[in-house]
Amino acid sequence: MTMTMLAYTVLTDPAPLEASADGRSPSMGTVYLVVTNTRKAVDWSTIEVKVPVGKGAGDLTQNIGTITAKGEYTDTQSGTQPVTQSVKVRRQGNVFQATPQTGRRARFEPGDYMVLTLENVTVAPTAGLAVLTVTETIRANTGWQINDAAVPLVKTAPKEIPAPRDFRPDKAMLDDGDKLTLSWEGSADFEYKILYPGAPQPVPVTGRTWSPTVAPKRATTYILIATSGTTPKQEHFLTTTVQVRNPILESLTATTGIDTPWVQGTANATKGRVTFTGTGVEITGNSGGQGTVTADKADLNGVNTTWVQGRNADDGWISFPQDGLRVHQNGRDESGNVSAHGGHIDVVHAQRIHGQDPSDGWISFWQHGLRVHRDGQKIFGAVTLSKVDLRR
């Protein structure tokens, strides 16, 4: 049996090669054929590498045209430092032939080595053992020889696509006007979609980043859906939540209460504020001063206030001094009128009492008693009685 004069070893990147699979990107790799001389110096003219082409278990690739080849010879003996020079490599069909760069033949010294590299190999879709056939043309003591060697390499079954990971927002807390960008790590063999509240169906995504056309107005959870094109399909779900510093809610229902120091109107409103204190609430306007409460009716156990006025600025008003109450008119401090159907009063202090019409009579009070006037003037009037019972 004829032995080759040179030794041949195959290495691959990745190691081992992974067979291609339907529904995902082709599996690519690089094959390195390392040629070494472990015996004595020989001359060589060609080294050919035959690649099995097809889809089967014994084939390396089904597309020989994607492969690019190169060769390098390293001289480790001639000088103090190894010297590497190029080797000519050309393809004929499915055979790659290496020839010396310096001429028709070259010396291959013991300890020297050559590396033939096949790059961009599209790996065949069936796992198995592929065998490269190496043919060397070598000059030995008996003359030129042509020797063959079989160099095997393994293609493993394709592994499951790694699950996507690190689904994250660029900002965990958004302010008004901020743009949101979501990103993740994952294989290009997945089809990606994002689902979020308000979207009727998942939104298709290209690349590994995505931004909503409208930034969220409140805390929102986004779901990343990754689906493979393989059979059976792989499907993964990842979630991430974005918080909004000043959320906008359509409605809010709290079943056990709301704890907050204050409540304020929106930016488009007047920004009146209700503040919760230890004794109740305080109402302030948009300037920070005391504000106004508008209601149809109030049912209160008590009211503490310095004054009460009608809704218009020139309406009458009531103030509450220490000795009782005072009625004012026209929104000013001048005394006003009280109109009532009846009243029950223990004591009445008044300068005079007048009828309801301006021309009615009236009674004034002086230190000796009372005076009766008529026609709304100071002219003395009459008193009409059915009976008088005077006692001294």
Over residues 315-326, the pLDDT tens digits come to 888 988 888 788
Residues 108, 148, single domain; the answer is yes
Closest CA to 17 of 194, 144, 135, 158: 158
CA angle (248, 254, 260) in 5-degree steps: 70
Domain count, the chain: 5
Can you tell me the distance from the alpha carbon of 75 to that of 107, in angstroms, rounded to the nearest whole number?
10
Which residues in 116-129 are b (16+ Cβ under 10 Å) and which e? bbbeebbbbbbbee
Boundary residue ending a domain (128, 156, 184): 156
Which of residues 201, 219, 244 is at a domain's end? Answer: 244
312 in the same domain as 289: no
Rounded to the nearest 10 degrees, how much is the dihedral formed by the CA atoms of 292, 298, 300, 304?
30
Does the pLDDT at position 50 exceed 80?
yes
Percent of the chain residues past pLDDT 90, beyond the cut: 54
Domain encompassing residue 272 = 261-295
* Residue count of the chain: 392
Q: Is residue 279 part of a domain?
A: yes
pLDDT at residue 373 in the model: 85
Q: Which DSSP symbol is given to 168?
A: E
> Is residue 181 predicted with pLDDT exceeding 80?
yes
What's 229's domain CATH number?
A: 2.60.40
pLDDT at 260 exceeding the cut of 90: no
Give the tens place of pLDDT for each residue, 96-134.
999 998 878 999 999 999 999 999 999 999 999 999 999
For residues 375 and 313, membership in a common domain is answered with no
Residues 237 and 97 in one domain: no
Q: Please indicate, yes or no, whether residues 209 and 125 belong to a single structural domain of this protein.
A: no
On whether both 93 and 126 belong to a single domain, the answer is yes
| Mean predicted lDDT score pLDDT of the chain | 89
Residues 45 and 186 in one domain: no
Q: d(Cα 216, Cα 244) in Å, to the nearest integer?
A: 7
Same-domain status, 370 and 329? no
Predicted pLDDT at 25: 93
In this model, does residue 2 exceed pLDDT 60? no
Q: Which residue has the higher pLDDT, 153 or 258?
A: 153
Does 254 fall in a domain?
no
Whether 16 and 87 share a structural domain? yes
